[in-house]
Amino acid sequence: MTSDSPVGPETGLETSPEAGLEGERLQKVMAAAGVASRRVSEDLIGAGRVTVNGDVVTEPGRRVLPTDLITVDGTAIQLDTTRRYLMLNKPVGVVSSLADERGRPDLRQYTENYEERVFNVGRLDSQTSGLLVLTNDGDLAHVLAHPSFGVSKTYIAKVQGDVSGRTLNLLTAGIELDDGPIAADKAKVIGKPSAGQSMVEIEIHSGRNHIVRRMLAEVGHPVVELVRRQFGPLHLGSLGVGQIRDLTKVELGQILTLSRNAIEPREDNG
**Please, are residues 131 and 154 in contact by the beta-carbon 8 Å criterion?**
no
Sign of CA dihedral 252, 258, 264, 267: negative
For residues 38 and 42, what is the distance between their CA atoms, to the nearest angstrom? 6
How far is the C-alpha of 183 from the C-alpha of 169, rounded, in Å?
A: 10
User: Mapping DSSP to helix (H, G, I), strand (E, B) and coil, where does residue 201 land?
Assistant: strand
Per-residue burial over 125-156, b = 16 or more CB atoms within 10 Å of its CB, e = otherwise: ebebbbbbbbbbbeebbebbbeeebebebbbb
Phi and psi for 47 in degrees, rounded to 5? Answer: -85, 5
Nearest Cα residue to 52 out of 62, 38, 41: 62
Burial class of residue 214 in the structure, from the number of CB atoms within 10 Å of its CB (0-12 exposed, 13-18 middle, 19+ buried): middle
228 class by beta-carbon count within 10 Å (0-12 exposed, 13-18 middle, 19+ buried)? buried
125 tagged catalytic: yes
Catalytic residue among 43, 68, 125, 185: 125
Active-site positions read 125
